[in-house]
Amino acid sequence: MKMDFADIFLSKGINYFTEDTPLNAILRYIDISPDKKLEKLGQFVSDELIEVSAIVDHYFKPVLQTWSITDERLDSVWLSPEHSRMLAKMQELGVVRSAVEPGGIINHFLSGYIISDPGFYCTLTLTAQTAYALHKYGDSDTRNKFLPRYLDPDDPWYGATYYTEIQGGSDLGSNRATASFANGKWAIESKDKYFASNAGLADGSIVTARPGGSEAGTRGLAVFFVPAKNSRGELNYNVRRLKDKLGTISVPTGEVEMNNSEAYLLGEKKYGIYYAMEILMISRIDDAISAAGIARKALWESYLYAGKRMAFGRKLIDHPLMLRDFLEMEADLEASLILSLLAADLFSKSSSQRPPYDEVYHKARVFSHIAKNNASWVSDAITRYCMEIFGGKGFLREFPIEKFHRDSIVTSIWEGTSNIQALDLMELLSRKKIHLAIKEDLLDMVENLGDRKWKIRVIEAILLKFESVERWLSGKNPEMHAKDVLNGLANAISLAHLFKLSDLDRTQRFRQVASIYYYMHFIRDEEGDDEFAKSKAIDWMKIK
């Protein structure tokens, strides 16, 4: 008898877009109008993608095929037919195309929350970044030659960003890749593009390299588009190997070598590092929003399981301690989702800008650092604890829950670790003082909260957090407190928006989430016990 995936995955069949109550409330709150295709995507992910992603993870990981049967160098990745079909379907639903449509990149970000499988979504993130860079910074010849291939509805290309090298990782200033210009063409030399996701799958990539004569450090870097095949139809670079990873098995990550590889300069050389960071911000936001999506699926699955599993004469969900665990995870998850969507919205509104950027863009940068760090750590904690809710079954690979945790772990590493996010944020705040404007925005926002008692508490909490932030920033060793600043801003921004959302939505559910967040991160006292005991904040996850 053929197995039904619903027998091991209880949330199969749920539409991960239309049935997600907090998501839709937050979209209304931020005034984001999602594309109608997201409803189809939400059902597709539930009905098909989750199961295929588990199968690919367990049994059909991408394989590097180095040679053809006729002894030609291929350096191509072999995917299972179902893997290829999943990618094609998500392309059909506009996950990549939305990144280059006017005002559409917000729908690309939203698709990441719904898909939330970081392996599959990474392939599409890198492709969207490549299309975005060609569309925005390619000259007319480069854009017209390559961008239509990425938007081809029948056989779209895939992309990549090859930034990091073995000796530097996030330290792009130490990159050794060089670019030379001769006879009207650019060529790149690089032996060490070491964390190259989509290697062997990408038809072209965005690459950082240092043109001859450029200064040392990040300011000497330029950004190029490098097709996988050169103008003669030959391999333009080689894939040395694919890496074995703990999670995100569906995206091939390898090592790339370039030897006189044809390249196309994007934009102006002097702005290369700015372009690179702007392109990178897309995947940082994708990391954040995908991390929140993984946590949502793990929590939803665990909630449904806890409503069925009996222990000591009661369902798991009816034990007060377990209920509290769920409510705290829900509050942290909704806070991370708000931060991620605020970052996505700010980037979307500033994505037409070029260097030098205005304050909206720099605010988007601040929010991307905060959201990426917060969502990845929240996702890590939630997915790990969701394994525990399943007991020993949560540790078995025969059930899908453990994969959520393995996949979530990388979201704090990709595109810069938590320390990188904290240090980049500190540098930005010290130059731009954006935290001061954020503080005033938050105080203005909560000034009109309807509940006077909560208004006073929230204002006091925000002031205390920003007092600490300003003390850390002006102290003798601000770098030592960089993550304190990062987390302090995340808590203050989340608190203000959760309470404002609850005020505008006018449902008791969102007020409960906001108050639980307050008792978790600001003041823990017995008064909060009543909030946990009476809360219905997670009841929406019941299957209707």
Contact 359, 387 (CB under 8 A): no
Are residues 376 and 441 located together in one domain of the fold?
no
Are residues 360 and 455 located together in one domain of the fold?
no
Are residues 190 and 111 located together in one domain of the fold?
yes
Are residues 446 and 409 located together in one domain of the fold?
no
Question: Which of 415, 432, 467 is where one domain is finished?
Answer: 415
Are residues 105 and 157 located together in one domain of the fold?
yes
For residues 150-154, give the mean pLDDT: 95
Residue 185 DSSP SS3: strand
Largest CA distance in the chain: 79
- Cα angle 135, 139, 140 (rounded to 5 degrees) comes to 85
Q: What DSSP line would sit under 67-122, residue for residue?
A: E-TTS-EEEEEE--HHHHHHHHHHHHTTTTGGGTSTT-HHHHHHHHHHH--HHHHH
Are residues 170 and 298 located together in one domain of the fold?
yes
Count of other CB atoms within 10 angstroms of residue 476: 5
In what helix (H) or strand (E) does residue 541 lie, and over which residues does it extend? none
pLDDT of residue 104: 86
What is the pairing mode between strands 185-197 and 178-182?
A: antiparallel
pLDDT of residue 534: 76
The whole-angstrom distance between residue 69's C-alpha and the CA centroid of its chain comes to 39
Are residues 513 and 523 located together in one domain of the fold?
yes
Instruction: Tell me the angle at which helices 482-505 and 21-30 cross, rounded to the nearest 10 degrees.
Output: 90
State what percent of residues in the chain have pLDDT above 70.
100
Whole-angstrom CA distances from 191 to 11, 234, 260 are 45, 18, 11
Q: How far apart are CA 486 and CA 154, in angstroms?
A: 43
User: Quick check: 169 pLDDT over 90?
Assistant: no
Whole-angstrom CA distances from 496 to 293, 434, 506, 517 are 22, 17, 15, 11
Cβ partners under 8 Å of residue 293, min gap 6 = 16, 112, 113, 114, 115, 116
Rounded to the nearest 5°, which phi and psi values hold at 242?
-100, 150
Contact 103, 97 (CB under 8 A): no
Q: Token digits for 123?
A: 């392939």
pLDDT of residue 525: 73
Q: What is the CATH number of the domain that holds 124?
A: 2.40.110.20
Contact 238, 205 (CB under 8 A): no
pLDDT of residue 543: 84
In what helix (H) or strand (E) does residue 93 lie, and over which residues does it extend? none
Question: Which of 415, 449, 480 is where one domain is finished?
Answer: 415
Contact 105, 98 (CB under 8 A): yes
Are residues 405 and 437 located together in one domain of the fold?
no
For residues 118-144, give the mean pLDDT: 97
Contact 318, 29 (CB under 8 A): no
Q: What DSSP line would sit under 50-77, residue for residue?
A: HHHHHHHHHH---EEEEE-TTS-EEEEE
Q: How far apart are CA 303 and CA 316, in angstroms?
A: 9
pLDDT of residue 524: 77
- Beta-bridged to residue 180, according to DSSP, are 187
pLDDT of residue 496: 98
> How confident is residue 417, by pLDDT bands cut at 50, 70 and 90?
very high
pLDDT of residue 190: 96
Domains held by the chain: number: 2
Tokens 């809710």 found at? 389
pLDDT digits 0-9 by tens, 32-58: 999 999 999 999 999 999 999 999 999
Q: How far apart are CA 125 and CA 257, in angstroms?
A: 22
Contact 159, 130 (CB under 8 A): yes
Rounded to the nearest 5°, which phi and psi values hold at 251?
-100, 120
What is the pairing mode between strands 310-311 and 204-211?
A: unpaired
Question: Which of 415, 440, 463 is where one domain is finished?
Answer: 415
pLDDT of residue 168: 83
> How confident is residue 505, by pLDDT bands cut at 50, 70 and 90?
confident
334: left (phi over 0), alpha (psi -120 to 50) or beta: alpha
Q: Token digits for 77?
A: 């990745």
State what percent of residues in the chain have pLDDT above 90.
93
Cβ partners under 8 Å of residue 335, min gap 6 = 374, 378, 490, 494, 495, 497, 498, 517
Are residues 373 and 433 located together in one domain of the fold?
no
Tokens 């965005």 found at? 206
Residue 158 carries which DSSP code? -
What is the pairing mode between strands 204-211 and 161-162?
A: parallel
pLDDT digits 0-9 by tens, 208-259: 999 998 999 999 999 999 999 999 999 999 999 999 999 999 999 999 999 9
For residues 490-503, give the mean pLDDT: 97
Q: Alpha-carbon dihedral of residues 291, 293, 295, 296, nearest 10 degrees?
A: 160
Are residues 180 and 286 located together in one domain of the fold?
yes
Tell me the whole-structure pTM to 2 decimals: 0.96
Are residues 389 and 442 located together in one domain of the fold?
no
Q: What DSSP line would sit under 448-508, residue for residue?
A: T-S-HHHHHHHHHHHHHHHHHHHHHHTSS-GGGGHHHHHHHHHHHHHHHHHHHHHHHH--H
Q: Token digits for 345?
A: 């919205």
For the chain, the C-alpha Rg in angstroms (whole number) is 23
First to last CA, the chain: 28
Residue 449 belongs to domain spanning: 417-544
Residue 152 carries which DSSP code? -
For residues 424-453, give the mean pLDDT: 94
Q: How far apart are CA 230 and CA 328, in angstroms?
A: 53
Are residues 435 and 505 located together in one domain of the fold?
yes
pLDDT of residue 319: 95
